Structure 1
Amino acid sequence: MASERKSSTYPFASGGWGSVKAVAKILLQEKAPLADSRALMHQNKPDGFMCVSCSWAKPASPHPFEFCESGAKATAWDITAKRMTPEFFRVHPVRELLTWHDHDLEEAGRLTEPMRYDAATDRYVPVSWQDAFDAIGAQLRELDPNSVVFYTSGRASLETSYMLQLFARMYGTNNLPDSSNMCHESSSVGLKEAIGVGVGTITLDDFEKTDLMFFFGQNVGTNSPRMLHQLQDARKRGVPIITFNPLREPGLLHFANPQSPKDMLTPGDTQISTQYHQVRTGGDTAAMLGICKAVIEADDHALSAGEPRVIDVDFIREHTNGFEAFAQYVRDANWDEILRESGLQREAIEAAASEYMKANAVIAHYGMGMTQHRMGVQNVRMLVNLLLLRGNVGKPGAGPSPVRGHSNVQGQRTVGITEKPELAPLDQLAKQFSFEPPREKGMNIVEAFEAMLDGKVKAVVNLGGNLVRSVPDRLRTEPAWGQLDLTVNITTKLNRSHLVHGRDSYVLPCLSRIEIDRQAGGDQAVSMEDSTGCFHGSRGVAEPASPSIRSEPFIVAGIAKATFGARSTVDWDAWRDDYARVRAEMAKTWPEMFDDFDRRMWTPGGFPRPLPARERKWQTKSGKAEFMAPTSICEDPDMPVREPDSLRLMTLRSDSQFNTTIYNHDDRFRGIKGSRMVILMNPSDMATRALSHGDTITLQTIADDGVERRVDGLTIVPFDIPQGCIAGYYPECNPLLPLWHCAKESKVPGAKSIPVRVMRETAREAVL
């Protein structure tokens, strides 16, 4: 009902009592035992476990409660008292479970036994670990390695990721997509081209030295709330924060620190954004171009007047390439076009530029609002252009800051999870393990599902995640997944990807990072890399959900050993029993990063990986940081909106969600209750279409590929969003996103700008 889907402006600061109540609620909901709930006191501590949610950095001197609302929800979800035993599957056949909501599947609890699909009964039935390993290994030996995909979710540790990439390459394939392909691959490509490293360059120390921060398309309040502590400290020092985001998000407006008695017991809070610009969806390149234009116009004036230069001339001369071509492009850019594409007023852009020109050290944070576009790589390159103009890369308090989502998604790439052979140390692996790695390019997520649609992919080894729900074009890709010969799922809970199963399918329950990992070599620890490029150790503290579940390294080692048998050059049993042996091999592969790793990974606050760009050493083709002139400031020049009344749909997450995991159906910050099947729309767009709050509509994708894509049963909610733009939840709106509608160079799905038309639910006719 419409009353259940009401939206109103969230009247409180992010954090505060709202977060405290949300944490208490989820602990009660999951019936977490008191002893296990105390695990929160060890979350993100130097001797505890790294949060299983976002990848934001751990400080060297943590707060007493070094977790946020989102992280607490993720922990409660893992330490739940609820269990999904074999009896559950005896009662519920797969055809029934396919009708359950995604939330209800995971809410049913932790998996406790390894299971295989039995077609005769349409149920998952228990299987011994060794029988599962032997059967999977036998099937893998029968398949062409290039028809098998090894997927890794962002929660897998460095040790597990290293083992999996080695297993896949010894098996004979570089088909190693991961969750980076879905979000920040545009950063990996764009940053590497521009500054020679595919990750951000800042650390937590830079927050204490910066003079200004930008935010582009990153909702810190729900995606990385612990960063609000650093933002609050910076604001108390008077550091301006300028935000570009289509929606006004509470976490970017005000913050009440739940750990501050003053914030909790008085009406006080901290204003986060000093300027907030509601850029049009897909208008980021145009907005940044406008800032650059204002800077270069000011510099041209200063030069002609004999005044101090505005740009960093010495830095540009010594450290960059391509400036003159870029500067001329900026001078020639048309303000009218910039304003039309950005959706902003010139005064707003010039206000941001004015602050930028006054600041000596600037950090630019950004998220998937920048990367999940057809021009996502260009967005990243444009952000680097902006920073390079005033030397804001490779100095204290400055640099690009791509805020990663999943807790170790950045680290997986560091240890070889990549489909791109040129990014993996293949020669070293060949020497180290006496085998010849494959040299041909593997498949990323989009390519893997394209091949799946063509019948070329036969099996998927799925290390975490929920691919069936997270990939675009679900109404096409889900049936293709169901035609696979083999699906192997390493997971903590049941999800849709396990139910849309291959002919042979296994669900293998693994330990959560929060749980104690007892192996023959003693209690084990793992490691991961945070969003700022620092490595951390992680040690579980809670009792395992079941004595029958196994760790991720145990499962990967078991499948690898069963696949290779005596011909393997790796002692998988030894690696399974003692992860320090894995780390020792990682140190041989990358001695500059992982030397003495067993000791250094327990450094409070972590220790940074070597990044040449931090020292202004540019590992680019020219040996310098690269400026780049945009090819177009239109969000999608290859797919222009063909209907004057079409809308740009962006998908987004709620505060009760982490990726495809839905903790409940509410979105507190946006005032949504009781349903996720909603569309947020500008009131003017509603009036133009004669729509009212609570009306039910269908959205249909505007594309000329002959495929009808639609989502029915969406309720209209008025919202403060730029005219011509709408927003809906992920993954509910994924069927509207064509698989091919992805970033040009990185193939990140273009989920932040999908051209759609609105149709009335009853008449199925377009609403103009």
Structure 2
Amino acid sequence: MTESHPTFTPYKAPAGGWGSVRSLLRHGTGDGAPTIEGSRQLQRQNKIDGFACVSCSWAKPAEPHTFEFCENGAKATMWELDTRRVDAAFFAEHTVSELLTWADHDLEVQGRLVEPMRYDADSDRYVPVSWDEAFAIAGRVLRDMAPERAVFYASGRASLETSYMYALLARLYGNNNLPDSSNMCHESTSVGLPRSIGVPVGTVLLEDFEHCDCILSFGQNVGVNSPRMLHPLQEAARRGAEIITFNPLYERGWERFTNPQEPLAMATGASTRISNAYFPVRAGGDIALMQGLARALLDLDDAAQDEGRARVLDVGFIDTHTNGFEAFEAWLRAADWSDIERESGLSRADIEGVAGVYAQAESSILIYGMGLTQHRHGVDNVRMVCNLALMRGNVGRPGAGICPVRGHSNVQGQRTVGISEKPELVPLDTLAAQYSFEPPREKGLDTIGTVEGILDGSVEAFIGLGGNFSRAAPDTGRVEPAWRGLALSLQIATHLNRNHLLCGRETLLLPCLGRIEEDVQNGVAQRVSIEDSTTCIHASFGTSPPAGPMLRSEPAIVAALAQAILPPERAACAPWQEWVDDYARVRDAIEATYPDQFRDFNARLHTPGGFPRPVAARERRWTTDSGKAEFHVPEVLCATGFEDKAGRYRLLTVRSNDQFNTTVYGYHDRFRGIDGTRRVVLMNADDIAELGLDDGEQITLAADFDGDAEVREVGGLRAIPYRIPRGCIAAYYPECNPLIPVSHHAIDSHVPAGKSVPVRVVRGGNAPVPPGPAPG
């Protein structure tokens, strides 16, 4: 399937409903679809003795629905169970140079990787290699390399067991170069929350949605990124909870929802209104918005005191549990409403109206997503959410809390068990005693540091545990040619993607089992575990036949790599083969390293709904320097990090509902009414008219960073009218990543600032059409 005959028709139906069913039928009956096996596995998805969805990380209920999967989760399952195969015969037919001209979708749709491959430069093809030889090649390259020049990247797919082993491997090798996909999305959460409330994760459990009476959502697209979350949102809406959404784009999931599991609703077309109110805040305008909400709360509290009514602020909580409120209050009182309205794009009346709703609610949940984290001042955004919660005491009690919605299914969990470039976040002394070695203490490379290292040559080896790093990272146009300078590019994967076609001096492609597939080690079927967005730990048990006899599990591959690349005395520090023979032993090791977090790990593994890790802020214990939750005063009102200028637009990069991260399932973004293409720019109709463009006219986006001499352009795009604030535009990720320089990232957290990129709109133009032939 390639892009062709694009159509643009506004979508007026609710999220879910028959649109979701038809989408599943399209993906479940096409070429390569595992019709019978896919149906069998969907019945097990997110169930107690089933497998954890390989897509999003939303919580799994203790009493699952009959169909505990969403449209995108089902697509991910069908994708993993694809009956098509990418084997030696496929690579014999296609050179790497040819494959580099294919679109992202057309690469991954070829099916599952089923045998280890090595790139042969003479023929420009991947050729078969034995597992032993592949590990020997990796060993030869990495043993001769200074440890700091190798990077161990992890996507959010790997289990807790694999992630723990992988992190230990990197440290035994001699570095903390452990970037992961969290660096690209929620690292602003991991930096901001600890500074405000002392923990790097949210404070909400799934049952809190049963008790809240107000939900505020900032920069999160529930219908695309976490559709199963619509179930508790629907139940809250039906109970009468106020749900208010702030997002630059109107997204269908936050407007209306028809539950496909309700026969009457499906038969009648009935839907549930999710948001009581929806406000299109400007991209980067959330700090100003939240300042306005906080200032309005302060004004309501003043009025309540003047009239002798109950306080709006939870002063008992503020006095007992927080620090820094006086400075925050002074900042609010000095606020200028004209600045708030200009930066947020919303009116004072609307902001004050929302504050009135929030002030009356007994228990509120504050949700946010990458619409807050992926800005230059993303950490300030996160801390402002905390400020709002702290003002009303909405942390550490039932029905209330802070709820960051993470992306990939175990992206939060892998950080929990040691995949972090920050040594201060890992119990290195415990690891030293447990495995009798001295772990490296120097800070490692995150995603931004890895990109910089690839560009300047200081990174010579990249080991990828899943993912599509070069495509997901910023500065794509510079990263791709630089990748060819690596001494080793080793990728552990289930499907072919563009990053695999960027070949270093040695390039290995190692196929692994998927989470849905049966993993038998030492004659016993193994279980793995994952952590969801609410810190609950779940078992995952695959039963589908493996895609091919040569596949190995991720733990087995990591163990073999460890024994190949580590000196014998270092390899002997950990019982790699014992761990592969029985994953329960890995869980015992995890519990020994993190006894407070994983008490009785194996015994509790199959707890319905998962077992929650302890989170101090849930108990109103604050592990900050002051011992209290901290109010924060931002230095700016605009999170973009750049000034507005004539002709400069704020670009948000977005995903379609036919996509998960860099995986593109198809060209049908149903909720936005876009079919047959991804080469679009969503624009306010008045901006299109002001530029003198016709709807659908071809344009080019050009990066517009002050002082940046590099030319960054993406062309072959069509201007499409959409409900979005003036001056803001949206286009798809990862196609627009070439517009983002590696320097444009969140302060402190280093998350690429893909939700506010300064660009100019150029009519027509001859800029490259992504992905296009690779440079060089």
The interval holding the TM-score normalised by the smaller chain is over 0.9
Match in the other structure for 1:26? 27
Which deviations, in whole Å up to 9, do the C-alpha atoms of 1:376-427 show, x marking residues without a partner?
0000000000010010001111111000010000000000000000000100
Match of 1:399 among 395, 401, 405: 401
CA drift at 1:301 = 2.3
Q: Is the 8 A contact 1:7 1:718 kept in 2?
A: no
Q: Check the 8 A contact 1:20/1:258 in 2, yes or no.
A: yes
1:636 shift after superposition: 3.0
Match of 1:752 in 2: 755
Give the alignment of 1:525-544 within 5 angstroms. Answer: 525-544=527-546
Question: Counterpart amino acid of 1:433?
Answer: Y
Question: Which letter maps to 1:439?
Answer: R
Does the CA contact (< 8 Å) of 2:715 and 2:766 recur in 1? no
Matched, 1:451 2:453: yes
> Quick check: 1:708 aligned with 2:673?
no
Partner in structure 2 of residue 597 of structure 1: 601
Counterparts of 1:21 and 1:2, CA distance in 2: 20
The CA deviation at 1:595 is: 2.5
Provide Cα deviations, 1:484-522, integer angstroms capped at 9, x if missing partner: 110110000111111011110000000000000011151
Which residue of structure 2 lines up, in the alignment, with residue 88 of structure 1? 90
Q: Is the 8 A contact 1:118 1:125 kept in 2?
A: yes
CA contact (8 A) 2:223 2:254 kept: yes
Cross-structure match for 2:578: 574
Instruction: Give distance in 1, aligned partners of 2:218 and 2:548.
Output: 43
| Equivalent residue number for residue 285 of structure 2 | 283
Distance 2:576 2:137 in 1: 18
The 3 A distance-change label for structure 1 pair 762 and 222 is closer
TM-score, length of structure 1 as denominator length: 0.98
Instruction: Work out whether residues 37 and 79 of structure 1, in 8 Å CA contact, stay in contact via their aligned partners in 2.
Output: no
Hey, what does 2:741 align to over in structure 1?
A: 738
2:606 counterpart letter in structure 1: W
Inter-partner Cα distance in structure 1 for 2:118 and 2:511: 11
CA drift of 1:763 comes to: 8.7
- 1:144–1:762 CA distance, 2 compared to 1 (3 A): closer
Change (3 A) 1:762 1:2: farther
Q: Which amino acid aligns with 2:603?
A: R
Asked whether 1:67 is paired with 2:69, we answer yes
In the alignment, which residue of structure 2 is the partner of 1:14?
15
Q: 1:257 aligns with which of 233, 237, 259?
A: 259
Structure 1 residues 549 and 353 mapped into 2: Cα distance closer, same or farther (>3 Å)? same
Counting only pairs closer than 5 Å after superposition, residues 475-490 of structure 1 correspond to structure 2 as 475-490=477-492
Within the candidate set 130, 139, 142, 1:128 is matched to 130
Distance across 1 between alignment mates of 2:87 and 2:526: 26
Cα deviation, residue 145, structure 1: 0.6
Alignment partner, residue 610 of structure 1: 614
Name the % identity: 57
Given the superposition, is the C-alpha separation of residues 702 and 589 from structure 1 closer, same or farther in structure 2, using an over 3 Å criterion?
same
Task: Write the deviation string for residues 99-157 of structure 1: whole angstroms up to 9, x where unpaired.
Answer: 11110111001011011111111111111111111211121111111000000000000
Q: Which residue of 2 aligns with 1:210?
A: 212
SS state of the match for residue 282, structure 1?
A: coil
Distance, in Å, in 2 between the alignment partners of 1:64 and 1:243 is 29
| Whole-Å separation in 2 of the counterparts to 1:485 and 1:6 | 45
Q: Does 1:187 align with 2:189?
A: yes
- CA offset digits 1:654-693 (Å, max 9, x no partner): 0000000000112111011111010001011011110111
Taking a change above 3 Å as real, the CA distance of residues 577 and 3 of structure 1, as seen in their structure-2 partners, is closer
Q: CA deviation at 1:600?
A: 0.6
Residue 634 of structure 2 corresponds to residue 630 of structure 1 = yes
SS at match of 1:247: coil
CA distance in structure 2 between the aligned counterparts of 1:263 and 1:384, rounded to whole angstroms: 37
Tell me, yes or no, if the aligned pair for 1:489 and 1:508 is still in contact at 8 Å: yes
Measure, in 2, the Cα distance between the counterparts of 1:33 and 1:144: 49
Q: Match of 1:380? A: 382
Give the match for residue 100 of structure 2.
98
Structure 2 Cα separation of the partners of residues 635 and 651 of structure 1:
15
Structure 1 position 762, deviation (Å): 4.6
Cα contact 1:420–1:442 (8 A) shared by 2: yes
2:158 aligns to what SS in structure 1? coil
- Partners of 2:762 and 2:35 lie apart in 1 by 48
SS for the counterpart of 2:43 is: helix
The one-letter code matched in structure 2 to 1:646 is R
SS in 2 for 1:593: coil
CA distance in 1, matches of 2:6, 2:337: 40
* Structure 1 gap ranges (5+): none
- Kindly report which structure 2 residues correspond to 1:168-567, keeping only aligned pairs within 5 A, or say none: 168-520=170-522, 522-567=524-569
How many equivalent pairs are there? Answer: 762
CA distance in 2, matches of 1:459, 1:434: 26
Query: Per the alignment, in what secondary structure is the counterpart of residue 462 of structure 1?
Result: strand
Are the counterparts in 2 of residues 681 and 727 from structure 1 also a CA contact under 8 Å? yes
Distance 2:50 2:176 in 1: 34
Q: Which moved more, 1:697-706 or 1:199-208?
A: 697-706
Aligned mates of 2:517, 2:508 — CA distance in 1: 22
Structure 1 residue 635: Cα displacement: 2.1
Instruction: Tell me whether 185-194 or 699-708 shows the greater mean CA deviation.
Output: 699-708
Change (3 A) 1:305 1:262: same
Cα distance in structure 2, aligned partners of 1:465 and 1:713 = 26
SS in 1 for 2:668: coil
Residues 682 and 718 of structure 1 are in contact (CA less than 8 Å); yes or no, is this contact kept in structure 2? yes
CA contact (8 A) 1:43 1:67 kept: yes
Asked whether the 8 Å contact 1:316–1:391 carries over to 2, the reply is: yes
Pairwise CA RMSD: 1.3
Query: How far apart, in 2, do the equivalents of 1:36 and 1:399 lie?
Result: 37
Decide whether the 8 Å contact of 2:38 with 2:77 is kept in 1. no
